[in-house]
Chains A and B, each alone.
Chain A
Amino acid sequence: MIEFGTDPRVEIHCEPGFYSFTEGTSGKTYLAKLIAQAGEQGLPYVTYSYYDYVRGVDLAAVCEKVQAELVFVDRYDMFSEDPTVQEQIQNLAQDIVVLSDLKSSNPPILPDDYLVLTRSAELLEVT
């Protein structure tokens, strides 16, 4: 389990792999923001968004630089067709937890599972 933060606390209960969220899940953007904040505080967590992609930031390089244990690929539908990113995600997912907000019904790479995000004022839990 990956756990961090105090306000709210975040708990992510999953093994390494590539994941999206069940339809209708809310709070994904907030989760991405909390992961980014934790990364800024020095934890091995990364958020990679469409704007990083547009700026040419390399997903694999960013994750390698911080020895990431968790990466949230935000707005992935905007660049899910890119085969380089697809390959990087598949490689990363062998060792670390890769979360995404993928909404496409026919994605180029299928998530290993669809997660549920529950949220209260104190806890944001991914199972």
Chain B
Amino acid sequence: MLHIFFADPETLPVVSDVEMAFSMLSGQRVSLDDKDQKLVDLIERAELLDDHSFRDRFGFTLPVSALSTGCKAAIVVNHMPDQLIDLREAGKQSRSAIVAVCEEGNVLMDPDTGIEDCTNCCGIQVSVEGETFTDMSDLLYYFEDVRAREREEYS
């Protein structure tokens, strides 16, 4: 299950610098898998060639260090399921891809920043504030409810 937190529960170690965490994974020679491939495809429209390089949408072969910070955050979520990954540097595409692809892990995100459906009708395995979601559209409605609640609290 991918657990989404809107505030730090203070029960898990937090990874706030995803660039550094990604460098550590690279340094540990972690093998990239099919989920990483899917994340890179959804976020970058690119193709992983091996653990060290990818082909970008223009056909250029680049080192994985040149992936966007959001894409690195997604790969970190996939490989560090026991830690809470702060997604403040991940844009909407990256957050959405994480929700669509990662079935395990813990992420911290601002509900205001939003997500979109890139599941292509596949199910999700997500828990937010104690509620479980297996359908992306239900999760999108829930995010909308959270935002509405916050607006009411501020008004």
A binds B: yes
Where the two chains meet, the residues of A that have a C-beta atom closer than 8 Å to any C-beta of B are 23-26, 28-30, 33, 50, 75, 77-78, 101, 103-106, 119-121
The reply to whether B90 and A29 form a contact with Cβ atoms under 8 Å apart is: no
Q: How far is the CA of A104 from the CA of B92 in the complex (A)?
A: 10
Across the interface, which residues of B come within 8 angstroms of A78, CB to CB? Answer: 16-17, 88-89
The reply to whether B58 and A104 form a contact with Cβ atoms under 8 Å apart is: no
Across the interface, which residues of B come within 8 angstroms of A50, CB to CB? Answer: 17, 19
Where the two chains meet, the residues of B that have a C-beta atom closer than 8 Å to any C-beta of A are 16-17, 19, 43-45, 58-60, 66, 68-69, 88-93, 110, 112-114
Q: How far is the CA of A23 from the CA of B94 in the complex (A)?
A: 11
The reply to whether A105 and B110 form a contact with Cβ atoms under 8 Å apart is: yes
**Of B45, B59, B90, which one neighbours A103 at CB under 8 angstroms?**
B90
New contact pairs (20) apart from A50-B19, A103-B113, CB-CB < 8 Å: A23-B92, A24-B91, A25-B91, A29-B66, A30-B66, A33-B66, A75-B19, A75-B69, A78-B17, A78-B88, A101-B69, A103-B88, A103-B91, A105-B112, A105-B114, A106-B110, A106-B112, A119-B58, A120-B58, A121-B60
Interface residue SS majority, chain B:
loop
Across the interface, which residues of B come within 8 angstroms of A105, CB to CB? Answer: 110, 112-114
Closest to A24 in B: B93
Across the interface, which residues of B come within 8 angstroms of A23, CB to CB? Answer: 91-92
Across the interface, which residues of A come within 8 angstroms of B110, CB to CB? Answer: 104-106
Q: How far is the CA of A77 from the CA of B17 in the complex (A)?
A: 11
**Of A25, A26, A120, which one neighbours B44 at CB under 8 angstroms?**
A26
Across the interface, which residues of B come within 8 angstroms of A75, CB to CB? Answer: 19, 69, 89
Nearest-Cβ distance from residue B122 to partner chain A, whole angstroms: 21
Known: A29-B66, A103-B113, A120-B58. A24 touches B17 (CB 8 A): no
Nearest 9 pairs of A and B residues by beta carbon:
A105-B112, A77-B88, A105-B113, A121-B58, A23-B92, A77-B89, A103-B91, A29-B68, A24-B93
Closest to A80 in B: B88
Q: How far is the CA of A103 from the CA of B59 in the complex (A)?
A: 27
Q: How far is the CA of A17 from the CA of B114 in the complex (A)?
A: 26
Q: How far is the CA of A101 from the CA of B88 in the complex (A)?
A: 11
The reply to whether A28 and B68 form a contact with Cβ atoms under 8 Å apart is: yes
Known: A26-B68, A30-B66. A104 touches B88 (CB 8 A): yes
Closest to B65 in A: A29
20 A–B contacts, CB within 8 A, in A order: A23-B92, A24-B91, A24-B93, A25-B91, A26-B44, A26-B45, A26-B68, A28-B68, A29-B69, A75-B69, A78-B16, A78-B17, A103-B88, A103-B90, A103-B113, A104-B88, A105-B112, A105-B113, A121-B58, A121-B60
